[in-house]
Structure 1
Amino acid sequence: MSEDNDKESKTEEASEKKISDAVEKGNIPFSKEATLFASLMGILVSLSFFAGPQSAALTQGLARFIDNPGGFRLTTSEDATNILWMAFDVGARFLLPIVIVLSVAGVVAALAQNTPRMVGERIRPQWSRVSPMGGWKRLFGRQGQMEFLKSLFKFGAISLVCGLLLFSGQDSITAALSSDPVLVPSMLLGLAVRLISAVCVATIALVGVDLVWSRLHWKAELRMTKQEVKDEFKQAEGDPMVKARIRSIAQERARHRMMNAVPRASIVLANPTHYAIALYYDRQKGGAPLVLAKGTDLIALKIRSVAESHGIPVVEDRALVRAMYDAIEVDQWIPAEFYRPIAKILYFIYARGKNAKS
């Protein structure tokens, strides 16, 4: 019951990270029916192209053992070894092409489904693989039910196909039993080819369904709960609360450093309370004015207050301050397009200060 509830809570699609982690651990969609179908096709190819010629060679090779069993000397262990090697040679020549075809078919079926990779996790001992409870869940869980239905379908389809073929060919089979024994192998070979061909046709639909189902089931098993998505996001991007706190601390330090620099300003531009910009200009060195601080609303009022407490001139120019605010950054020189208006303001302030002294 808890397992069903857990699956129902997994409403989110698997993230790229979870999919990549699953692939790294060897958890990939795989259809056993596709491999079985490839093996059947390999058997069909072997029977069609190799079994006939190889059967004749096998018959000729074994004929020496059957026609003249007494013609072999068998007095020492070396004689017995030679006979065994002769039998092995005859059998290997018959089976080797078939084994090669079946091996290639199995490898091609596996490569067609997934990219090959070495995964140590798949061979690492795990208790769940030998646990009676885990085995019970595999047998009677959703996966086990699906495997049972596929096995039932295969058994029914193969039984039906074999029954129909044997029923339709019963006359030729009966006639072959009373004919020349030399013709029996070719008759059995033809019957086997027809049987395997019919089985392959009958299982094509099953293979297609299993390929789709294996991938859908794999994606369903990797689905995530909303909490898992949040936890993964926190791991990848960091805890939003922690990041917000760090950002807040950084902004507070930047404001504190900026306010400490305001007493060095040569002039403060205001608008009149919503914006404020503190500039430093060195008359001896010349060059462009440096932005010491900028801010809006409460920070702007604080900049004005510090400037007024230190006797720094505050000039109100709504249009200029509003235009400058988005184009400048703290601890950087003002852009060239603001040289002329700022120069006029500085000239006016310095000229007024000079007249006041005189």
Structure 2
Amino acid sequence: MKLSLDLQYFAQEKTEKATPKKRQDTRKKGQVPKSTDVNTALILLGVFLFMFLYAGVLGDFIVNMMQHVFLEYIHWEVSEQTIPSLFNEIAAESAIVILPIMLITLVVGVSASLIQVGFMFTPEAIAFKLEKINPLKGIKRIFSIRALVELLKSLLKIILVGVLVFSIIWFSLDSLVFLSQRPVAAGFGELARLTGIIGASVAFLLLLLAVPDYMYQRFDHEKQIRMSKQDVKDEHKKMEGDPLIKSKRRKKQMDMAMQRMMQEVPEADVVITNPTHFAIALKYDEDTMAAPKVTAKGADYVALRIKSLAQKHEIVMVENKPLARSLYAQTEIGDEVPENLFKAVAEVLAYVYRLTNE
């Protein structure tokens, strides 16, 4: 009894790698190894690298916009007509600044996801399920090992990012202290430069941290989709099909093959019989065939059907027990007559041709 329970336990233990079908099924459900840290790091890196290139244009545009506000809009009369116009112009000018950054964010975010998981459309993953709002499962996820790992990762990132930002600010403290004594444009440029350095440095740091996180996500995903030996057997059995269905399919295939074979009997030149146990139909066309071919063969009941069709369509039947047994054993349907049986078959065909020409 104990041995049986142990075997059952080992059969259910998740020790096997996921099969291709299991991987495909989990992918359809949206379960793929993906690190959000990779997306975050690449988006930050892409945005701040773009900002380094776009900073001059952005700075000039903002300065011109502020000059326009303080030189033009300040003289406008505040009324129901001027306020909507004011906000529309400011919104349009702000969009010119923000839209390129949002576009870069979108492109980099989509590209990061494609790099990790490829193109994937999973309507099943976004379908509404009551179990998704089950508070018990929510609590279980909060206090799971996975949640603890995510908490430790977040704390580590906060500490490292904090140390990095503090270090950059500390080494730039001299320029920040005298920032109030510099012109507005120069001060703005210094702050923009420092912000860009901090952003790019944090992005590189998060990208470095994302590499082990992605490896962990792959490891955890492989662990989650592992299968037991019984699962593999069940899947294989399901893919192979039910034995009853397989037998019915095989029977149908045999019936179709039998039907095709019987359609060839009326075209045969001769049927060689045992006379009761075997029947082999032969056809020969000297213009298209190098040797006579077996178009149908059978034993017992099938042989009886072949002989019945041959008699119905007035096909010559020749009784030759040794030749019938040899042809049945050495050939398959569609095969040419073996070389060692050429002479015997030629004699039979010669007899048939003499008989039909009389």
TM-score (norm 1): 0.68
Whole-angstrom CA distance in 2 between matches of 1:107 and 1:149: 27
C-alpha contact 2:18 2:227 (8 A) present in aligned 1: yes
Q: How does 1:175-186 map to 2 (within 5 A)?
A: 175-186=178-189
Corresponding letter in the other structure for 2:19: S
Give the direction of change, closer, same or farther, for the CA distance of 1:162–1:7 in structure 2 (3 Å limit): farther
Corresponding letter in the other structure for 1:109: A
Residue of structure 1 equivalent to 2:269: none
C-alpha contact 1:38 1:109 (8 A) present in aligned 2: yes
Q: Which has the larger radius of gyration?
A: 1
C-alpha contact 2:14 2:227 (8 A) present in aligned 1: yes
> How many Å apart are 1:243 and its aligned residue?
5.0
Whole-angstrom CA distance in 1 between matches of 2:128 and 2:230: 30
> How many Å apart are 1:168 and its aligned residue?
1.0
In structure 1, which of residues 173, 178, 195 is the aligned counterpart of residue 176 of structure 2? Answer: 173
> How many Å apart are 1:322 and its aligned residue?
10
> How many Å apart are 1:59 and its aligned residue?
2.2
Give the direction of change, closer, same or farther, for the CA distance of 1:267–1:343 in structure 2 (3 Å limit): farther
C-alpha contact 2:274 2:324 (8 A) present in aligned 1: no
Give the direction of change, closer, same or farther, for the CA distance of 1:81–1:330 in structure 2 (3 Å limit): closer
Identity %: 23
Residue of structure 2 equivalent to 1:24: 28
> Are 1:93 and 2:96 matched, yes or no?
yes
1:152-189 Cα deviation digits (max 9, x unpaired): 22111101100111111111100112333332211111
> How many Å apart are 1:224 and its aligned residue?
1.3
> Are 1:34 and 2:53 matched, yes or no?
no
In structure 2, which of residues 188, 191, 195 is the aligned counterpart of residue 188 of structure 1? Answer: 191
> How many Å apart are 1:6 and its aligned residue?
11
C-alpha contact 2:46 2:104 (8 A) present in aligned 1: yes
1:223-259 Cα deviation digits (max 9, x unpaired): 21112111111111124587579979x99xxxxxxxx
User: Higher relative CO (CA 8 A, sep ≥ 6), structure 1 or 2?
Assistant: 2
Structure 1: where are the runs of 5+ without partners? 252-264, 269-276, 295-312, 345-358
In structure 2, which of residues 38, 57, 65 is the aligned counterpart of residue 61 of structure 1? Answer: 65
> Are 1:233 and 2:239 matched, yes or no?
no
State the Cα RMSD in Å: 4.0
Whole-angstrom CA distance in 1 between matches of 2:279 and 2:297: 5
Give the direction of change, closer, same or farther, for the CA distance of 1:244–1:173 in structure 2 (3 Å limit): same
Residue of structure 2 equivalent to 1:15: 19
> How many Å apart are 1:51 and its aligned residue?
2.9
Is the partner of 1:11 in helix, strand or coil?
strand
> Are 1:222 and 2:222 matched, yes or no?
no
1:201-236 Cα deviation digits (max 9, x unpaired): 222221211222222222222221112111111111
Give the direction of change, closer, same or farther, for the CA distance of 1:211–1:331 in structure 2 (3 Å limit): closer
> How many Å apart are 1:199 and its aligned residue?
1.1
Whole-angstrom CA distance in 1 between matches of 2:327 and 2:93: 95
> How many Å apart are 1:77 and its aligned residue?
1.2
Corresponding letter in the other structure for 2:113: A
> How many Å apart are 1:67 and its aligned residue?
5.4
C-alpha contact 1:47 1:189 (8 A) present in aligned 2: no
> How many Å apart are 1:71 and its aligned residue?
0.7
